[in-house]
Amino acid sequence: MEKPVVVLKIGGRAASVETALKDLVLDMAALKDTFCFFLVHGGGAEVSRVTKIFGLQPVFRDGIRQTSPAEMEIVDMVLAGKMNKYLVRVFQTLGLKAVGLSGSDGGFFTGLSIDPAAGSRTGRVTSVDPRAAFVLAEAGYVPIVASTSMDSSGGALNINADEAALEIARAAGARSLVYLSDIPGILKDGQVIARLDAAGAEKEINAGLITGGMIPKVRSSLEALKSGVGAVVIGEFTQKGDLPRLLSCASGTTLEWKGERHV
């Protein structure tokens, strides 16, 4: 790729509020000559809503959806169908050419069930092949990626979108991986920590500042940095202009790797 790759994982307001999503697309359009964007999305709240319509009850363990075979059909329908095509339409309407993908397309990313004995269709990424996304990006399209995938036997898998984005960024040698959510960054005494390296992150984990689901996100992000991702940014998108601020470390928390890299 001639331009550096930026992987965006969208959630929260940026994914659910149309005005914020359109502002994000406009920011991406303004930066399209500088960066090559891959956009990764989940859609857990919508999956849960539709799951209940079909008379199923979502089950979570340690914050991870325990996807049954019956619910997997709904996950595919909502994420790779409704949510993905909605995002593609918004991009197209605002002048950015986009193509929707899932992990299954071109073997983009594949995985294994986290609990095959129980029949779980929740998976972990085991391999990534970003060539199809690179072909699209080189042709001027933004790959919009749903986090559903498949195992080696062709069975559908539901992959956590944060993990999918991270593994894609690692495989693509991304300049930046940006997690967009409804938090301004990692907070300390009410203020956003602008930058954290591995030592600083472990210090804040041990101090109890970084807790819950943020701990595995930060630790896995640091592993991605060690493997060659340039920077990982955690922040929120609320209005036009937020994306360049995040990419320039003017907002959000930027995780950095200062030691030896293994690429």
The predicted structure's pLDDT at residue 260? 61
Run means of pLDDT, 10 residues per run, the chain, 263 residues: 92 82 96 96 92 92 88 96 96 97 97 94 96 96 97 96 94 94 86 89 87 80 85 92 94 82 55
Could you give the angle at the alpha carbon of 189 between the alpha carbons of 163 and 257, nearest 5°?
A: 40
The predicted structure's pLDDT at residue 5? 97
Q: What is the pTM of this model?
A: 0.93
DSSP, residue by residue, 10-58:
E-THHHH-HHHHHHHHHHHHHTTTT-EEEEEE--HHHHHHHHHHTT---
The predicted structure's pLDDT at residue 51? 94
Q: What is the CATH number of domain 5-41+77-101+128-148+157-255?
A: 3.40.1160.10
The predicted structure's pLDDT at residue 53? 95
> Collapsing DSSP states into helix, strand and coil, what is residue 130?
coil
The predicted structure's pLDDT at residue 31? 97
Under 8 Å CB-to-CB from 31, ≥6 apart: which residues?
Answer: 37, 243, 244, 247
Could you state, in order of their start, the residue ranges of all structural domains in the chain? 5-41+77-101+128-148+157-255
The predicted structure's pLDDT at residue 17? 84
The predicted structure's pLDDT at residue 259? 63
Neighbours of 219 (CB within 10 A): 14
- Best CA proximity match to 144, nearest among 6, 257, 5, 37: 37
Buried b (16+ CB within 10 A) or exposed e, 2-34: eeebbbbbbbbbbbeeeebbebbbbbbeebbee
